[in-house]
Structure 1
Amino acid sequence: MKVSFYTSQREYALKKEEFNRAIQVVLEKGNFILGEQVAQLENEIQQYTQAKYAIGVASGTDALTIASDILGFKDGKEVITSPFTFLASTSCITKHRGRPVFVDINEETFALDVTKIEEKVNQQTIGILPIHLFDQMADMDRIMDIAAKYRLRVLEDAAEAFGMRWKGQGGQYRHAGTIGDFGVFSFFPTKTLGGYGDGGMMITNDEELARKAKYYRVHGASKKYHYEYVGYNSRLDTLQAAILSVKLKYIDDAVSKRAAIAKRYLERLEDCPGVRLPKVKGDQKQVYYVFNILAENRDKLAEHLAKNEIGYSIYYPRPLHLQPCFKDLGYQKGDFPVAERVAEEIIALPIYPEITTDEVEFICDTVKAFYQGG
């Protein structure tokens, strides 16, 4: 049995008429740049997340880069963040000559170890950039307490966190990205809410930040050829917005199906020798964007999965503090032992709403056979 790590074809086949019609409407009107479907999706995202403002941009990476610029994460200012994440979570700071300051991660959640943040705060610190990684949010209560204490800005990297919610000190669940100053989403195809190309969204509850974001995405212009800032060319594609609006209608069902798949993985692999399973911390509603395990002899397991035609991915094989592009930060091997150890053991198994029960069973059987010598 061949199992892809991810495929969009099954979803498309199920909703083909809706997707085709949404695309056709855009083609017929010919309004490809910031067309009405972009505004429609922004309104839908506002309603779903309860954010006051949503601004569509060209990618999750651009969302991080623009938000970092607006929040002042630049020119030597320090931003506390994680070394265990995708490049964009740190390059958005260094692009503006800011300085990322890493702290290690929690081994069970893979999120920032919030007990280590405060010791890194100094006069140059301007913000915190937590990443809501894989299937759960970072400890936003503690992060916001520290931010308030030291008057720091908070940029939530919620690129993977659409649908996740944190029950904070106020007693109500708040959607990922709505707690800090800015939150960002990626609509990369593999995401829980993913398009059929690149796309991203910035959300905020601050009117002034929203105003700037809308200017920054069109070169800094308040209106055509009138520039308030030196901005970016970063607009959510109208075709992608139309596709995403279709998918957003079914997002809760997609989240539920991911949860059911994750539950099956957890049940089947719970007693598997050599495998450690993810744990959720904090009062939150998680979303299984990715299903990771920590695996002994990870690389050999990966070979075994590939031999059995099972797709997998490794998020992430090398922490950012050990990447050549960030060598100027001065970090070295051993500085963040938890992140380094996790990078050697982590592996992601296929999870998407259209995967079948038989496929999940086959994956679990294959993993167990590897560790049981089968």
Structure 2
Amino acid sequence: MSSTNETIRFVDLVAQYHRYKDELSAAISDTLEATAFIGGPALGRFEKGFAALCGTQHCVGVGNGTDAIFLALKALGVGPGDEVITACNTFIATSEAVTMAGAKPVFVDVDDDTALMDVSKLEAAITPATKAIIPVHLYGQLVPMAEVMAVAKKHDLFVIEDSAQAHAAIEGGVRAGATGHAGCFSFYPGKNLGAYGDAGGVVTNDLELAEKVRMLANHGRADKFGHVMEGVNSRLDGLQAAILEVKLRHLETWTAERQAAAKRYDALLADIPQVRLPKVRAEGAHVFHLYVIRCPDRDGLRAFLGERNIQTGIHYPVPLHLLKAYEHQGNGPGTFPVAEKMAEEIVSLPISPEITEAQQIRVAEAIREFMSRSEK
């Protein structure tokens, strides 16, 4: 049994580091010795390897996941006067990137079972200004992409997959990021495939799009001083690429470990009536970046778990349309009722490839204890 004094980390990056310390140290040392800080061979190898994993022809490493979405939008020609539809319960980076490109984010509500974009709401949100859809593979689970693509094809819209939480998720033999015009990834340290700093990537099967993203991310350069357009500085640096190259070798193992941990939680929590477990759309389509349950007294549960050294999170406590940043859009409370209700009930439990069965038993027993006390 896990000691009650031991902190159960939300994501145990320390344990992961020690598990692969020798491989990581060698990769970092090689990069330092070669002074391959910008570009370099590790970047090319990682891009090739990640594209192969995703089942796409191209991957462009960029500075972070937010820039990945922004650069994909810019490369597709999305800009001022355009609207881009996305889910209202994602991290602000998704909609922020739309605004950075000069377009307007338009929100839709989500499915009550999966927390994913409610695809049935898409057509009602489309206007003559709509240029693109950004489905968000939230918590690690794929949005039903066949349905999204059918709507996009009907209305001649671009599709940019926000795959920041869904590395290696697969459905029908197709990976996250490989269905739309572009797939955008974050390699933030806590992600399923995480760097040791900010990092991101864009995958696509469109060579012209990949080349344009690469130029935009490097000051619009075709060569060192041949700037064919204005761009930005958003390069995936050599050190992060070297770290990601090492971690990429282990991603499929980690995915299986996350999925096994999720099944353990399912079994441990199944008989607690106050707890609503995550719904998996299809086997393999959920890689459990997050394991998110719902319960009536979410804040009480989090406080109770915190007192017992169990870290938790909320993803996300306020839907985007209710943030001050978007109050100018006029979408007040009640606009997207499913997401609003969900935001009051969701809690993310500790999960990572390194979490042990004993730790999960301790989490489940603490939840059971809280629920039994709440009934009295």
- Residue aligning to 1:229: 229
3-state secondary structure, aligned to 2:281: coil
Contact map agreement 1:139 1:282 (CA 8 A) in 2: no
User: Aligned match of 1:33 in 31, 38, 48?
Assistant: 38
CA deviations over 1:100-124 (Å, ceiling 9, x no partner):
1111000111111011101121211
> How many Å apart are 1:74 and its aligned residue?
2.0
For the Cα contact (< 8 Å) 2:43–2:237, is it kept in 1?
A: yes
How far apart are the structure 2 equivalents of 1:86 and 1:273? 29
Correspondent of 1:24 among 29, 32, 44: 29
CA contact (8 A) 1:72 1:126 kept: no
**Shift of residue 196, structure 1, vs aligned partner:** 1.2
Any idea what the Cα deviations from partners look like across 1:304-349, whole Å, max 9, x if unmatched?
0111110001000000001111112221111000010111100100
What is the CA deviation profile of residues 136-188 of structure 1, one whole-angstrom value per residue up to 9, with x for unaligned ones? 10010110001111100001000111010122xxxxx1110010011011111
How far off its partner does 1:31 sit?
1.4
Distance 1:20 1:315 in 2: 32
How far apart, in 2, do the equivalents of 1:291 and 1:285 lie? Answer: 14
CA distance in 1 between partners of 2:285 and 2:125 (Å): 29
Equivalences for 1:109-148 in 2 at 5 Å? 109-148=114-153
List aligned pairs for 1:195-214, cutoff 5 A: 195-214=195-214
The answer for the alignment partner of 1:359 in structure 2 is 359
**1:284 positional shift:** 5.0
SS at match of 1:348: strand
- Quote the offset at 1:238 in angstroms: 0.8
1:264 equivalent in structure 2 = 264
| In 2, Cα distance between equivalents of 1:284 and 1:145 | 22
Aligned with 2:158 (options 153, 158, 165): 153
| Aligned mates of 1:289, 1:255 — CA distance in 2 | 9
Q: In the TM superposition, what whole-angstrom CA distance separates every residue of 1:249-271 from its partner, at most 9, and x where no partner exists?
A: 11111111111110110001111
Name 1:94's counterpart in structure 2.
99
What is the CA–CA distance in structure 2 between the aligned matches of 1:105 and 1:60, rounded to whole Å?
Answer: 22
Q: CA RMSD in A?
A: 1.2
Aligned to 2:239: 239
Quote how far apart the aligned CAs of 1:72 are.
2.8
Q: Which residue of 2 aligns with 1:170?
A: none
Q: Using structure 1 for the length normalisation, give the TM-score.
A: 0.96
Q: CA separation of 1:82/1:40 partners in 2, compared to 1, >3 Å: closer, same or farther? A: same
1:196 and 1:318 mapped to 2: Cα distance? 28
Residues 140 and 167 in structure 2, CA contact (< 8 A), matched pair in contact too: no
After superposition, the C-alpha distances for 1:64-122 in whole angstroms (9 at most, x for unaligned) are 11112222332021111111000011011112231111110001111110111011212
* Equivalent position of 1:287 in the other structure: 287
Tell me the equivalent position of 1:190. Answer: 190
Cα distance in 2, alignment partners of residues 283 and 274 from structure 1: 25
TM-score by length of 2: 0.96
2:12–2:355 CA contact under 8 A, matched in 1: no
2:333 maps to 1:333: yes
* 2:110 corresponds to: 105
Give, in whole Å, the separation in 1 of the partners of 2:327 and 2:79: 18
Moved more, 308-317 or 247-256: 247-256
Residue identity over aligned pairs, in percent, reads 39
The amino acid that maps onto 1:76 is: G
Shift of 1:134: 0.4
List gaps (5 residues or longer) in structure 2. none
Local SS of the residue matching 1:231? coil
Q: How many residues align?
A: 369
Q: For residues 318 and 174 of structure 1, do their structure 2 counterparts lie closer, same or farther at Cα, with a shift above 3 Å needed?
A: same
Instruction: Quote the Cα distance in structure 1 between the aligned partners of 2:78 and 2:162.
Output: 14
Q: What displacement does 1:228 show?
A: 1.5
* Aligned mates of 1:30, 1:114 — CA distance in 2: 47
C-alpha displacement of 1:135:
2.9
